[in-house]
């Protein structure tokens, strides 16, 4: 499966194209990880995950946006992962645009 022809049609340049390229990089990383471990969801079920356990699981996954509501009602948004994409504010903005 390839998405490259669709990416070519999406935009020729600019923030949308840059964001689409980053999103595609995440898809490729996810597909590669699924070939090694097809049932990643097992990491999240069957055992309680504290902060350190969750961070350990997330460190082995492609980048992800974590939206979380804390017990005191605060909401938290974090970008976690190995830094495949969104490594600076410009990349984060283009990824957010798509």
Please tell me the number of Cα atoms within 13 Å of 77 on its side-chain side: 2
Q: Tell me the per-residue pLDDT of 54-71, one tens digit each, with 9 for 90 and over.
A: 888 888 889 888 888 989
What's the whole-number mean pLDDT along residues 82-92?
85
Burial class (CB in 10 A: 0-12, 13-18, 19+), 51: exposed
Distance CA 64, CA 95 (A): 11
Report residue 6's pLDDT band, with 50, 70 and 90 as the boundaries: low
Which two structure tokens, joined as six digits, stand for 57? 């699981």
pTM for the model: 0.71
Name the residue ranges covered by the structural domains of the chain: 1-38, 49-83
Cβ neighbours of residue 7 closer than 8 Å, sequence gap 6 or more: 17, 20, 21, 24
Cα–Cα dist 40/61, whole Å: 9
């Amino acid at each position: 499966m390839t998405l490259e022809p669709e990416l070519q049609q999406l935009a020729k340049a600019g923030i949308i194209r840059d964001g689409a390229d980053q999103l595609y990089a995440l898809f490729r990383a996810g597909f590669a990880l699924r070939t090694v471990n097809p049932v990643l969801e097992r990491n999240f079920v069957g055992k309680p995950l504290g902060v350190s356990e969750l961070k350990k699981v997330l460190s082995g996954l492609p980048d992800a946006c974590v939206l979380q509501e804390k017990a005191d009602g605060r909401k938290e948004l974090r970008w976690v992962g190995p830094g495949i994409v969104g490594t600076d504010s410009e990349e984060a903005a283009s990824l957010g645009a798509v």
